[in-house]
Chains A and B, each alone.
Chain A
């Protein structure tokens, strides 16, 4: 089992990590066997772009779990019928630009497409259209916060647009392979990082943070289990004291969950270490992760890799983007999660926990609408406690909260006016969660939950007078100036009203009655 693989090489490490950290780590691990080695990880992520149609055809791009019969979502172009030509989907370009901006990258004014050739039955053209020479986005970074609160900057090499292949199904027929071209031509962004990650935990943290980011800006749904976010991992290990070269890397495939990514990196790094400890060398190869055993096995050696015979795609002119075009997309970008985090805590006074829950559940927009013009802290509390609790117990994802945000906004307004209590709010949420479609105001009227100021005040006054009459010792204490007795009265009145009263107005009335006693 791997212990830990920690950074060490200044040439490889991001500029953000201070030098003294290296020294500290070296000191900490000096003398043990494991610390002789450092793991280096780089990722190649294929994220399916969340557009309506495919990258080069108008066939629908299947997102999410929808099921379609095989080969019903493939156009003539996707099946590579002779004479068909690719036509670039502008939405895919915009989404790649959006992703680039979110990753602080450079969006290239000119980019172009290439053909990557290989024969496989689910690749109808015999080539994949990709961006080999001039990708649409280069550079950029994503900052991670590590467990020890340190920041780790992971640099992005580039993002390229490319087509997905179809699917081959080998286990449905005794002697035939079946092919489904519904996925053929689906739009992908290949996001390639520099080898800046130093452990399986860091890789896992990067993956979930990138998923969060893509979902937040809406460029990919990024569900790993649905194949919308696929991750290839490059792993190498080298001696801690060797600051000149990286170890030989192996590429790991078939990692379709964060858990597998973690396990595969740990297994593979240990395999490299064992080899080198035994004086053997690591071979450059592509390896397959077998989740059932938690091990990896060789798929193909570097020398056996196909010659892809890259060629410029002659059917597509280069993409030329004007500065204005990029600026326009930039100005319409939503706020990024890290900025939201800071602003919510600092400006809106939300609890960091609530902010994290809102961001990770992807309900920022819901919250924004629900809290517009209302107390953000109270609204956030309603959402993260009551609404999330009930949504979860109904087995729904947070993207499908059954109550429109505008209804919550309306409810918050009534609470803030004092026309209903917080408890009434909770009851309203429970009703609406069960399918109540009317406006909160209508429900409140029908149920008679609205607090009529005068009648309520009268009933509270009446109750307060009764309590005062029944508890002379407490009244005496009040007369002596002891404020502590207030909750004794207020609490009982709120309880008697099942919480559907405004504590502040109860307090005011109690004070008045006590003074008059």
Chain B
């Protein structure tokens, strides 16, 4: 049995009383250890302590590829990287709340030591050997709680590993924890978590001695907000989330990192707790485009446990990118489409001008930029908010409290279902289950569910028409606005509008990547642009995305 600590913020008082182990215990563990060191060396100088922090910062702020090089060159060890991550987390977890579970220190150090041993013996397992990573808390992990941010699964420990976790570890990655999320991946803000909201590391006046959230904090986006925060906050070198309607791209844009949703089926869903099965796509958070290429290579491929996964040969995306750069390849011969339907009334002026600047940049690199039309775009959002809840209604039917998860018994079995589901699910989840139940019901199926399926088909046809007509990739903003203050959007529909730019690619199953391109002059928060490509066009997408991101370096966060 894996030993670990359940992390939780202190915001939920009733739960604290329940005697679950929470953040304080974890901090105590780390602090005690430090104290121990201090006791041993009483006169440890402030100088040395500062040096240690400096070194840790240096490591934490490396990109995945840099960390990989450092490991290869012997400039650091997996053990040191893990120590640096944990040290940083011990300071910020409570304030930003990116993780629901963090693997116990002892276990992580053992794994890191094992990795360092293997490397010494020349038995590197894969390209991620010794790299600290994180996965969203809806990917099953054997022996480690997988809560989906829900009370329903708050004590659920799966007996098997998801393919994503298995592949990361097979390639040598060290998973340091499970990231926070909107309950069952339903939301665009990561504030619908049973374990408290995630705070965007770009929020102002962050003080590690406080607890999340504070007035003025902004959201990390959602639903995979914890994953975005774990990478943007420099706690690990990459993270895997799930993108159903933008749940990786939107938080990536809000947190100023790369969010990459590959083609539906490129990465296996086996072990990913389902929300909208026909839309759910495991997706990547990375500090830059090159890092996301490396992660994609490690994760993609057919999985016999997922019948919707795609048979494809592993592609060394990262080498392709590197070669392109060294050859000085430009974007001549690449046609980029700018869809006019994405110029919506919700779009902020700032993002609009960044969008145009991005187009200019690609044009300068040699691309041919043209205006295109995707006429069914306006129907994509309502269609998504019928299809995804319908599938959620179905997928969440198994949470009846009988075999696993939370249970609140009643007089009859019906009472028991009703009590369990009323108490175990949060409001947004209940809202979507009811919506899906309505959309699929005999009387409304024709006008809601089936109509939405038709719209979905039309949205796909819109894209295919453009891609078959000479357009290589499509450039759009990722979100209509930068990150918003926590709990500022109380109307669900207003919240749903956040996904307006990311949903069409989800409905069509197309690969799309959000790349950080600048900061709002008004709010000083990051902004992102999205590139959408045809099915299985990941290589091209990464190539063009690397042109978009090159000129942008971000000041170090939280240091």
Contact = CB atoms under 8 A, between A and B. Distances in A.
B269 interface: yes
Range, interface on chain B: 35 or more
A81 B306 contact: no
A121 B414 CA distance: 10
A29 interface: no
Nearest to B443: A307
Nearest to B153: A82
B3 interface: no
Nearest to A125: B398
Contact of B398 (A76, A82, A87, A315): A82
B308 A315 contact: yes
A82 B397 CA distance: 11
Contacts of B273: 82-83
B321 to A, nearest CB: 32
A83 B437 contact: no
B397 A125 contact: yes
| B interface: dominant SS | loop
Given A80-B403, A82-B140, A314-B278, A309 B305 contact: no
Interface string A55-87: 000000000000000000000100111111111
B404 A81 contact: yes
Contacts of B400: 119, 121, 126
Interface string A87-123: 1100000000000000000000000000101010100
Interface stretch (B92-100, B156-164, B523-531): B156-164
A204 interface: no
Contact of B270 (A83, A124, A125, A310): A83
Contact of A311 (B271, B394, B442): B394
Contacts of B440: 117, 309-311
Contacts of A316: 307-308
Given A307-B441, A307-B442, A315-B277, A87 B305 contact: yes
B193 interface: no
Nearest to A88: B307
Contact of A82 (B156, B277, B278, B390): B156
A76 B398 CA distance: 13
Contact of B146 (A82, A309, A310, A314): A82
B329 interface: no
| A interface: dominant SS | loop
Contacts of A127: 394, 397
Interface string A24-53: 000000000000000000000000000000
User: Which among A76, A119, A307, A309 has the highest number of chain B CB atoms within 10 Å?
Assistant: A309
Contact of A85 (B138, B270, B276): B270
Contacts of A82: 140, 146, 148, 153, 156, 158, 273-274, 398, 404
B110 interface: no
Given A76-B159, A85-B306, A314-B278, A115 B269 contact: no
A389 interface: no
Nearest to A126: B397
Contacts of B274: 82-83, 315
B393 interface: yes
Given A309-B393, A311-B390, A317-B307, A80 B398 contact: yes
B503 interface: no
Contacts of B304: 87
Nearest to A179: B402
A315 B307 contact: yes
A79 B400 CA distance: 12
Contacts of B139: 83
A117 B394 contact: yes
A452 interface: no
A317 B264 CA distance: 13
A124 B440 CA distance: 20
Interface in B445-479: 445, 449
Contacts of B270: 83-85
Given A83-B274, A309-B437, A317-B308, A76 B160 contact: yes
A208 interface: no
Interface string B10-40: 0000000000000000000000000000000
A122 to B, nearest CB: 9
A130 to B, nearest CB: 13
Contacts of A310: 440
A177 interface: yes
Contacts of B442: 307, 309
Interface in B372-407: 390-391, 393-394, 397-398, 400, 402-404
User: Which among B269, B277, B397, B449 has the highest number of chain A CB atoms within 10 Å?
Assistant: B397
B520 interface: no
Contact of A119 (B278, B397, B403): B397
A155 to B, nearest CB: 28
A121 B412 CA distance: 11
A78 to B, nearest CB: 10
B402 A314 contact: no
Contact of B403 (A79, A83, A88, A307): A79
User: Which among B146, B160, B274, B398 has the highest number of chain A CB atoms within 10 Å?
Assistant: B398
Contact of A81 (B159, B277, B393, B445): B159
Nearest to B270: A85
Contacts of B271: 83-84
A310 B274 CA distance: 18
B329 to A, nearest CB: 37
B449 A311 contact: yes
B496 interface: no
Contacts of B393: 117, 309
A311 B159 contact: no
Interface in B308-359: 308
B162 A119 contact: no
A5 to B, nearest CB: 34
User: Which among B307, B308, B390, B413 has the highest number of chain A CB atoms within 10 Å?
Assistant: B307
Nearest to A82: B273
A177 B417 CA distance: 14
User: Which among A76, A87, A315 has the highest number of chain B CB atoms within 10 Å?
Assistant: A315
A87 B306 CA distance: 7
| Shortest beta-carbon contacts, A-B, top 9 | A126-B397, A314-B277, A309-B440, A314-B278, A82-B273, A83-B271, A80-B398, A83-B140, A307-B442
Given A117-B393, A124-B402, 5 more contacts: A126-B394, A126-B397, A309-B442, A310-B440, A315-B274
Interface of A: 76, 79-88, 115, 117, 119, 121, 124-127, 177, 179, 307, 309-311, 314-317
24 contacts: A79-B403, A80-B398, A80-B403, A81-B159, A82-B148, A82-B158, A82-B398, A83-B270, A83-B271, A83-B273, A84-B271, A85-B305, A117-B397, A117-B440, A121-B413, A125-B397, A307-B441, A307-B442, A309-B437, A309-B440, A311-B390, A315-B277, A315-B306, A315-B308
